[in-house]
Structure 1
Amino acid sequence: MPSYFSPGIYVEEVPAGARPIGPVGTSTAAFVGVAPDRTARLGEALAVNNWTEFLRLYADGDEFESTPLARAVFGFLDNGGTRCWVVNVGEGGALTGNGRQRGGLDLLEAIDEISIVAAPGFHDAVAHEALLSLAERTRTMVAICDPAPDIDDISTLTRVATAGAGRAAKPSEGGDTPASSGGSGGSGGSGGGTTGSSANPTAHRPRQSDFGALYFPWLRVRDPLSGDLVLTPPSGHLAGIWARTDALRGVHKAPANEPVRGAVDLGHLVTRSEHDVLNPRGVNVIRYFPGEGIRVWGARTLAAEASEWRYLNVRRLSIAIEQAIANGTRWMVFEPNDYTLWRSIRRDIGAFLTRVWRDGALLGRTPEEAFFVKCDEETNPADVRDAGMVVAHIGIAVVKPAEFVVFKLSQWSGDTETETIGG
């Protein structure tokens, strides 16, 4: 209590009871690969906010040529992305560190703002495992895996490839891969990871994961550095579409039925029957529709068909809510674990989830139908309090995408008695 020594009016500022929980960003991506200037900024993770900045950092020397990393960053920015982190592993570099020194994907683990991660140019089983492991370890990002460039047999995308013994995933070290074969185009030998490290060369699907997604096929784009038409992995363009959808509609909107800006053709035109095989296995197909162009036509994770995390928007919205609550309730640590704290938890989280519901991300006609927050003596008995913990149970009803729109049509003879419209 303050001390008062003379009569008068005293005004004291006291903190408000409520501490609003704000949303978190979901659109920052990270790309690991080989830069146009192979020696530029090795072993560093640098933020890039526009194409000019990328060129200044990674293509400013006299000797450089385009790579999948460059096309991914350009595709990300062209499709609506605004900020990404880039790691250049150099010619023949590996996706992860060597145990003694952090490198590649390891550099991204300490950057909290990253929500999307990809490794354009790396697409074998070892690379997929490294990406998925990072996403699962952090639980704050979703990995976009690229398929191999030369897949002709669609059935290989339904079988899980396993990483065999051998070196860490690296881009191919040979010469240029012709664009017609689905490689990196005429843009240098850094264009694509080999599939030789896979123990089963007839399998190309990554393993099941709640924190990963796979898109097929590769895209034919105009290279931003050479101007040539080349095939490139889709991860960079898709990361931009995710960011664009988040900005325009919200993270709860599935990033599908969206045009792919910059894509002029596809490496493989997927048929309806092929799509029927790929979609249940979590392979998101990019398709061409006459009159509508090239569109993303899938929004699934690599989770099992029956998993509650099989839709990308459900997974990403849950991550966003978890991160927002974790950040917004950090003030509660070391507070007295009593009824006042429990009431504050219910109030702050309830107010935040009400805003999420109003944005259309949660299913329900009322907030009570859309979510619940329970934090009381039942969730915090004496033994839990003695262990220094406070426990709150939170449930949310996430809106799922209308993946299958079904219209049931039948013939009508027109001779039955019906009420006159407008009568």
Structure 2
Amino acid sequence: MASDGSEPSSTYTLAGGTDGSAPDANEYADALALFVALDDVSIVACPGYSAFFNVSGGSIYRAIQDALITHVADPRRYRMAVLDAPPDVTPNQMRDLRGLVDSNRAALYYPWIVAANPLAGPNSTQPVEITLPPSGHVCGIYARNDIERGVHKAPANEVVRGALRFEPAVNFGQQELLNPIGVNCLRALNGRGLRVWGARTISSDPEWKYLNVRRYFNYLGASIDRGTQWAVFEPNGEMLWANVRGTIGDFLYNEWRNGALLGTKPEEAFFVRCDRTTMTQNDLDNGRLICLIGVAVVKPAEFVIFRIGQKTADAKS
């Protein structure tokens, strides 16, 4: 310690090191494989992989993206992949890139985000601003939306905190080009700030068009799967079937009460069947308990439409 009580300062210069080569797609796949055993993972992203877009003709970018989609494809993992657009691409280029992928368990975001550089300072040589892939911010928005509203609410029309602007800026016409094909845009809206303005998957299947529907079914599947593990190795008969129906029915009733399901009464919102109509004797002989569940999910109000007519002063109705 110095005589004045302050900590001594020293400057060290590092030299002769190497950052190594950039990771390839196989290394990304190996890293994703480490998450397979973690049951609580529901969102997967690889922020920065899209920086490889201009390397090797984009093959590394495509391979890493495919590894992400493959990782979440297993229906028992109950996961979504958040995909990044490459940096510095135009909306027309983005439309072409969207046509190369198809998955109901992945969502694609465009464009990149300009944020303040936390390493910049008065005497720093670091740039004041840095450009970041959107997936990191979007994953945080997913988590915030899940806590504040619930998985059933689309993670859109949400403020992108920490963003200064988006590059390139997306206008209404470009949004109209990209949104129908499943590219979720980040936009600067006049008087409303910087927001996520899209909630679609990259699926060609209209049943799984909306991101919150896919994520909500993931949530339902994981919750019911894990919440009925007590039934394994129980005697497969009428008493077990009734208990399973009651367990799942109570869970779905709470979901309906929380506004996640459509219907003015529970019978309109969901049904649970677990009886002789869902299982054959062969199923019983081979130890299979089969439960059929139907839910009416709430889809997002993606377009808010008002029709305005002219009223005359003497109109009777």
Does the TM-score normalized on the shorter chain lie above 0.5?
A: yes
Count of paired positions: 285
Q: Would you say 1:245 and 2:145 are equivalent positions?
A: yes
Q: Would you say 1:156 and 2:83 are equivalent positions?
A: no
The one-letter amino acid of 2:34's match is: L
TM-score, length-scaled by structure 2? 0.85
- Higher helix proportion: 2
2:9 is matched with: none
| Cα distance change of structure 1 residues 62 and 376 upon mapping to structure 2, 3 Å threshold | farther
| Cα distance change of structure 1 residues 90 and 103 upon mapping to structure 2, 3 Å threshold | farther
Structure 1 residue 97, shift from structure 2 partner: 4.0
- Cα deviation, 1:243-300, whole Å, max 9, x if unaligned, reads 1110100110000011100001110111211111101110001111122111110000
Structure 2: how far apart are the matches of 1:205 and 1:219? 23
Residues 108, 201 of structure 2: 8 Å contact kept:
yes
Structure 1 residue 95, shift from structure 2 partner: 4.5
SS at match of 1:103: helix
1:207 is matched with: 101
- Greater relative contact order, per chain length (Cα 8 Å cut-off, separation 6+): 1
1:376 is matched with: 275
1:114 is matched with: 41
Structure 2: how far apart are the matches of 1:345 and 1:417? 57
Q: 1:93 aligns with which of 23, 26, 44?
A: 23
TM-score, length-scaled by structure 1? 0.64
- Cα deviation, 1:124-180, whole Å, max 9, x if unaligned, reads 21121111110112542100100110202x122222xxxxxxxxxxxxxxxxxxxxx
Larger mean Cα displacement after TM superposition, 140-149 or 224-233: 224-233
Q: What is the percentage of aligned positions where both structures have the same residue? A: 44
Structure 1 residue 225, shift from structure 2 partner: 2.9
Q: Would you say 1:231 and 2:125 are equivalent positions?
A: no
Structure 1: how far apart are the matches of 2:160 and 2:306? 28
Matches within 5 A, 1:8-407: 91-97=21-27, 103-123=30-50, 124-137=61-74, 139-152=77-90, 154-159=91-96, 203=97, 206-226=100-120, 228-304=128-204, 306-407=205-306
Residues 128, 206 of structure 1: 8 Å contact kept:
no
SS at match of 1:264: strand
Structure 1: how far apart are the matches of 2:300 and 2:80? 18
Structure 1 residue 90, shift from structure 2 partner: 7.2
Structure 1: how far apart are the matches of 2:41 and 2:184? 22
Stretches of structure 1 that go unaligned for 5 or more consecutive residues are 1-60, 64-88, 160-202, 419-423
When the two chains are superposed, the root-mean-square deviation of aligned CA atoms in Å is 2.0
Structure 1 residue 96, shift from structure 2 partner: 3.6
